[in-house]
Amino acid sequence: MPLFTLLCLTLPPSCYTTPSLVHRHGLPTRPLKTSVASRSSLPACTSPEPSPFLSPAGTCAVIVTKSGTCRSLVANLAAANHFTKSHLEIAENKALMEKANFYYISGFFLTVSPESILMVGEHACENNKVFCMNLSAPFLCEFFKDPMMKAFPYIDILFGNETEAAKFAEIHEFGTTDVKDIALKTAALPKKNSKRERIVVFTQGAEDIIVARGGKITQFPVVRLPTEKLIDTNGAGDAFVGGKLSRVTEVE
C-alpha cells in the first residue's frame, strides 16, 4: 500500500546520523541528506523552478550525552525550507500523491507549506484515505496553532509525545494535564471525514503508550531496553511512527 509522506522535507535530519558515529564523536562527520529522492522508496518528485532540490541539502549537528538519553540538535533545513504547493501541483508529483492510500506529514511541515498539507488532507478526506500527522514539537502547538488547527479536521491518526500533548492541552484550554484525558479530548475535536474515527497516539518515553479511539483509552506498555544497551535515542520516535504506520498500511 503506497504511503506518501512530506515529513522527510522538514525533519531535523537527525535520524540520518549513524548512531555509532554520533555516539563516538558527538557530531556527524559528513553532511546529511534530506531530499525525497534519497530518503524515500518512492520515485523522486519532479520540481518546478526554483526547485527546493536545487538548494543545498540540509545539515544537522547532533550532540548526544548522558549515555544516549539526551541530545541537542542544530539543524540547517536548507532545501527543506523551500517546498511549495506548486511542487505538488506538477502533474507527475500530484499523480504520486493521488496514488497513495496513506499520508503522513510531520508537524514541522506546518512551518514550510501549510497549503500543501491542506491539499493532501482534502484529497485524503474526499477519497476516504488515511491522513496522519505528528504534533512534532510544543512550539508548533503554540506558535503554529492556526495552520495546525486548519489541518486538524483532516487528521485520522495523530501522533505526539507527552510534552507536546501537554502544550496542546494548555493552548486549547482543555483544563487537564492528564495525558489520557488530553488524548480523549484531542480525538474528539471536529473531524471532516466521519467515516473514520480519529485515533490519537501519545508516547511517554519509557512509560505506557496512550491510544484514544472511539471515546476509549488503551494503554500499551513499552518494552524496556537495559541502559547499557541504549546508545542513542535519535530518531526513536520516528522509528516508532514508522513501525505503527507499517502495521496500519498492512491491516487496512
Please tell me the distance from the alpha carbon of residue 194 to that of residue 197, in angstroms, as a whole number: 7
Q: How many residues bind ligand NAG (CB under 6 A)?
A: 18
**H/E element, 208:** strand 207-213
Nearer Cβ to ligand NAG, position 125 or 132? 132
Tell me which amino acid residue 193 is: N
Please tell me the distance from the alpha carbon of residue 135 to that of residue 168, in angstroms, as a whole number: 8
Contact 99, 71 (CB under 8 A): no
Query: Where does this chain touch ligand NAG (CB under 6 A) — which range of 34-42, 97-105, 120-128, 236-244?
Result: 236-244
Site for ligand NAG in 9-28 (CB under 6 A): 11
List 164, 185, 212, 232, residue binding ligand NAG (CB under 6 A): 164
Nearest distance from C-beta of residue 182 to ligand NAG, angstroms: 13
List 2, 31, 153, 237, residue binding ligand NAG (CB under 6 A): 237
List 40, 81, 163, 176, residue binding ligand NAG (CB under 6 A): 163
Please tell me the distance from the alpha carbon of residue 59 to that of residue 77, in angstroms, as a whole number: 7
With cell 506538477, the residue in question is 90
Mark whether 208 is an active-site residue: no
Q: Decide: is 136 part of the binding site for ligand NAG (CB under 6 A).
A: yes
Contact 19, 67 (CB under 8 A): no
Instruction: Find the residue with minimal CB distance to ligand NAG.
Output: 237
Hey, what's the cell of 206? 519509557
Q: Decide: is 242 part of the binding site for ligand NAG (CB under 6 A).
A: no
Please tell me the distance from the alpha carbon of residue 226 to that of residue 100, in angstroms, as a whole number: 38
Catalytic choice (178, 181, 208, 238) = 238
- Considering only the C-alpha atoms of the chain, give the largest distance between any 2 of them, rounded to a whole number of Å: 50
Catalytic residues: 238
Which stretches of the chain bind ligand NAG, using CB under 6 A?
11, 106-107, 134, 136-138, 159-161, 163-164, 203, 205, 237-238, 240-241
